[in-house]
Chain A
Amino acid sequence: MAYEPVLTKHINEPNSYTLDFYMKNQRGYEGLRKALTVTPNDIIEQVKTSGLRGRGGAGFPTGLKWQFVLKDTPKARYICCNADESEPGTFKDHVLMERNPHLLIEGCAISCYAIGAKVAYIYIRGEFYHVQEILEAEIEKAYTAGYLGKNIFGSGFDCDVYIHRGAGAYEAGEETALIESLEGKRAQPRLKPPFPAVAGLYQCPTAVNNVETLCNVPLIVLNGAEWFAKLGPEKNGGPKLYCISGHVKKPGVYEASMHTTLRELIYDHAGGVLGDRPLKAIIPGGSSVPLLTPDQLDIPASFDGVQKAGSLLGSAGLIVLDDTVCMVWLAMNLLHFYRHESCGKCTPCREGCDWLYKILQRLERGEGRSKDLDLLFGVSNNIVGKTLCAFGDAAATPVLSTMKLFRAEYEAHVREGRCTLPAAWRAKQPLFAGAH
């Protein structure tokens, strides 16, 4: 089962980020040249046929998203590249932008052409400072070489790519919050409808796409939609980047097809569990998705495969948890994040995340009462489905999922007044000692 990487093949070679390298080794900007010879609609059709699904979390078909972008309007249209990558356990876009930036730049240009936009904004996570510097320098080179700017390849197509640096909010990755932030406002989501495809950036039709999603576009144009679709299972075509972290021997970003099983990812790619300890659970798609257990390792790590197993592929951030991880601590750890990152716009998420965190803290301190378990469950359920954006569901998931799978651990915390896991000390480094 030899899979040859297409997105990350060269990332470990020196100067892989340069334009020269890209031109020599990756058929640089040929996709764009080819795209400009067909109609925008042809591109959308190709992307639809390829089955490309959004890599940002929701797995929504990209071609369809572009098709929804309102074309019958005098308004400008925009591509917003979501490079906010802040989901815990997710670090793939970072690698692409740092080591293969021209693939993204080319992807932005083709996508602009497809939806009739002239401008793409790359909304980059505030902390990716050095990545921004690389991207900026490479965009400059693309302009000089005539791959961006006016009248690209003499086709009459103009395209500008700008970088906008975020100020460090996870919520800014939610597509409408991203748009608000781009407009200079607080990164808080908008009510939908209207969807960005109708009224997005500056109330103009907009497509928000993840970095990895856009990086796939030149490949589809160059190699064909069928090639792309055949790389993976049905409806789960193309290359996929997996971010494997947690208790594995070789954490990192791995490219594979979505035929690959979770077991292969953890044991073959990432070298197995650290210290060969027993595996306790996996979070397959970034911190916002339900946990899977070791008996589910043989499912394909595809959008549909993971969903069938009761979780979500999300951003493909695989967090591997060995038997030393206390699940109450895990939930508290994640809720510390969500409580801190909730934008505060809507009531259930703003009040609920903080409340959940406080209850989990109490359990961790050994002061939990048995009614706290019902309370956790009740408060979580009062968040799920009642919030303005998907953040609320995401925040309640770690609690609901750990409680569902590991309720005994919660009960033990209440009963014993402490964590009963033998090696729980490891997870209890004073990570949040001063945090409140």
Chain B
Amino acid sequence: METVTLTIDGLQVTVEKGQSVLQAAIEAGISVPYYCYHPGIGVDGSCRVCVVKIEKMPKLQTSCSMACTDGMVVSTRDPEVVEARAGVFEFLLVNHPLDCPVCDKGGECPLQDFSYTFGPADSRMDFPRRVFDGEGVRADVDFGPTLMLNRNRCILCTRCVRFMREVDGDAQINIVDRGYGSEIATFSEEGVHSLMSGNLMDVCPVGAITTRDYRFKSRPWDNPNVVDTTCTLCSKGCSTSAWLKAKPEWAKGSQLIRITPRFNPDVNSYWMCDIGRFNYHWIEGDARLRRPMQRRGTALEASTWHEVEPRLRDAVQAAGSPDPASVRFLVSAHASTEELFVLKQLVEGLRGAGGLTSIAVAWTRTAKNQPAGTRFTIPATDAPNVNGARDLGYRVGAGNEGLPDLEDLRTAIEGGRVKALYVLDPGPEGSIGDVSWIVAARQSGTLPLLVVQGVLMTDLCAGADFVLPGAAFVEKDAIYTNDQGRVQAASRAIAPPGEAREDWQILVNVAAALGLSLAYSSSDDIRRALATAMPGSAYAQAGQITFTRPVPAKSWLQSSNPSERWKWDFMFQDLPPVKGHNVQTEDMGREGAYIPLRAVE
């Protein structure tokens, strides 16, 4: 790596050649404001707040567009910079509605945050502010099926325009009119129609673009706990953050308040798709399974684990003893690698080495409607772990690209050769594919026993003899192997509801009930066993994988700007959680002098 060394505010900084002064400053922990710059989109140089003074250059320069060179001497705190910057901040706010108290971005708004830090204390603007669609609630207009737009708040940084052009690949947003009349618009006011639309809320540095899903639901200080996890709604496996609302357990509403992308250069960069972002309501929804159930006559009755386990054993034994091969399994590729590993041991314990042939793996594929030039492709495979299943020896066909093969299982069931079917279905509704034929076979009696370990009251559960409530992906620590073959960790953010258990635990208990002792007392144990079982593979390190726990945001800034959270953590790690302090007078602890925040009389 070729590097250059420069000085920023007296601090020697060595960075990769080609980096901008702004990037160098951010990496060195020096706070420089920016709006039009976003690390995932090209440089625009239009907002002008990132100005710095560079020795030997006549004018102030925008640091986002200035490449670092050896020996460059940069100041971000020169009085000239401070004054110019404050001037730009004044301009940014002259037409801003300043409706922070009712704005969804309030509390995590870079315009708010940077203005407090770098802007003037008050504004000299005394003319009526620019109004586009109306004032108050009338300012919010439809911006497509997932978004709302408030043009009065927009600072015209064009991040949204450039995101659509450069990342989404379909330039649906642009600016119409010019100068003081410039406004964000879509063609014929159709709004944004894209599977990437949610990212626009993240890139928008103000409350101009909000998602219908999150708006008015919470305030940032009410959901300070964040868990870094992984999305499991397709085979890409984007790194995400799950945001938890701090609320007492008895209070209504869900804990999981939103999911945002987390920077991962190898997988998803700064982005995620709307499927992963918005499809989480089922996790704490009414259809969740909270208690084990068993069939009594035509009805499913709630039961307890204690009661259900021996009965399950009896039922499976009765159905399967004449022919152990008549006990079959169907597992969704939403099952984690730990679960697949335990299940494999379970069938091999029951049936010997060839046991895996009794397990069919199911998933769905959906073509995602995306522009040809997109930089973020959403795979067609809707399950996170087809590759994990293959690595463990499951029959999943050649690649991640294929469709599941359930023909064999279906013929066997419909031909009456299957006496008991055990289904593991921990994904959202429908993610296991069409299983109506199983329901039909159970109803007609062709299939005498159906056990479903799942998370939602689906038709399949409704037709089952036993229902075992498992955990959704944010409710358990687990690993999944994405379409690149990358073994990724998805961390537990919340607990499974009611008596629902983590799926590995259910499988271990079922195994015990069936007389097999699988001595795992945590999912860690399983990963260690997996690592031992598969040396030299991508799983050899599985035992060392760490999972994150909910992190309380240390300061008000830490929860800012979700898509850049990693960076903000960097930038503001030393700053006290106090608004109104001034970086210009604040000592960064490097030059020795200590300047108190308030002058002491």
Contacts and interface: CB of A to CB of B under 8 A. Distances in A.
B139 interface: no
Contacts of A347: 46-49, 88, 91-92, 155-156
A344 B47 contact: no
Contact of A339 (B90, B175, B179): B179
Given A191-B65, A344-B175, A386-B87, A350 B48 contact: no
Interface stretch (A128-136, A352-360, A398-406): A352-360
B60 A169 contact: no
Interface string A388-416: 10000000000000000000000000000
A353 B90 CA distance: 14
A385 interface: yes
Contact of A348 (B91, B124, B175): B91
A307 B123 CA distance: 36
B178 A344 contact: yes
Contact of A351 (B51, B59, B65, B91): B91
Interface string B20-54: 00000000000000000000000111111101000
B91 A344 contact: no
Given A354-B180, A385-B60, A344 B156 contact: yes
A161 interface: no
Interface in A299-344: 339-344
A382 B84 contact: yes
B16 to A, nearest CB: 19
Interface in B69-124: 84, 87-88, 90-92, 94-95, 124
B87 A348 contact: yes
A335 B92 CA distance: 20
Contact of B179 (A342, A358, A378): A342
Interface centre among B87, B92, B156, B174 (most CB of A within 10 A): B87
B532 interface: no
Contact of A353 (B60, B92, B177, B179): B179
A387 interface: yes
Given A344-B175, A375-B124, A387 B48 contact: yes
Contacts of B59: 385
A344 B87 contact: no
Contacts of B250: none
A341 B125 CA distance: 22
Main secondary structure of the interface of B (DSSP, over half): loop
Contacts of B88: 347-348, 382, 386
B125 A386 contact: no
Nearest to A369: B126
Contact of B180 (A342, A348, A379): A342
Given A191-B65, A386-B51, A388-B48, A343 B127 contact: no
Contacts of A345: 46
A75 B43 CA distance: 24
A340 B179 CA distance: 7
Contacts of B179: 339-344, 350, 353-354
Contact of B90 (A343, A346, A382): A382
Given A169-B178, A342-B180, A358 B124 contact: no
B279 interface: no
Interface string A144-180: 0000000000000000000000000101000000000
A418 interface: no
A171 B178 CA distance: 10
B44 A191 contact: yes
B180 A344 contact: yes
Contact of A386 (B60, B92, B181): B60
B87 A351 contact: no
Interface string A206-231: 00000000000000000000000000
B182 interface: yes
A350 B92 CA distance: 10
Given A169-B178, A344-B179, A351-B95, A388 B124 contact: no
A186 B94 contact: no
Contacts of A382: 84, 87-88, 90-91
B91 A186 contact: no
Contact of A350 (B45, B49, B60, B180): B180
Interface in A352-381: 352-355, 358, 375, 378-379, 381
A344 B127 contact: no
Contacts of B45: 191, 346, 388
Contacts of B94: 351, 355
A387 B61 CA distance: 10
Contacts of A354: 179-180
A339 B180 contact: yes
A298 B271 CA distance: 64
Nearest to B177: A344
Contacts of B178: 169, 171, 186, 341-344
Contacts of A385: 59-60, 84
A25 to B, nearest CB: 43
A346 B95 contact: no
A386 B48 contact: yes
Nearest to B124: A375
A169 B59 CA distance: 27
A171 B182 CA distance: 14
A348 B174 CA distance: 20
A151 to B, nearest CB: 39
Given A354-B179, A385-B59, A378 B46 contact: no
Contacts of B124: 375, 378-379
Contacts of A388: 45-46, 48
B15 to A, nearest CB: 19
A355 B127 contact: yes
B169 to A, nearest CB: 17
A341 B44 CA distance: 20
Nearest to B180: A354
A341 B175 CA distance: 15
B127 A348 contact: no
Contacts of B51: 386
B156 A191 contact: no
Nearest to A355: B94
A339 B180 CA distance: 7
A38 to B, nearest CB: 38
A340 B177 CA distance: 10
A344 B90 CA distance: 16
A346 B45 CA distance: 8
A191 B48 contact: no
Contacts of A344: 156, 175, 177-182
Interface string B154-178: 0110000000000000000011011
B298 to A, nearest CB: 67
Interface of B: 43-49, 51, 59-60, 65, 84, 87-88, 90-92, 94-95, 124-125, 127, 155-156, 174-175, 177-182
Given A385-B84, A386-B48, 17 more contacts: A191-B45, A343-B178, A344-B177, A344-B179, A344-B181, A346-B48, A347-B48, A347-B49, A347-B88, A347-B91, A348-B88, A350-B180, A350-B182, A379-B124, A382-B90, A386-B60, A386-B88
Interface of A: 169, 171, 186, 191, 339-348, 350-355, 358, 375, 378-379, 381-382, 385-388
24 contacts: A171-B178, A339-B180, A342-B179, A342-B180, A344-B179, A344-B182, A346-B45, A347-B47, A347-B49, A348-B48, A350-B182, A351-B92, A351-B94, A351-B180, A354-B180, A355-B91, A355-B94, A375-B124, A382-B90, A382-B91, A385-B59, A386-B60, A386-B88, A387-B48
Interchain residue pairs A-B with the least CB separation, the first 9? A382-B87, A344-B182, A342-B179, A354-B180, A351-B91, A191-B45, A344-B179, A346-B46, A344-B178
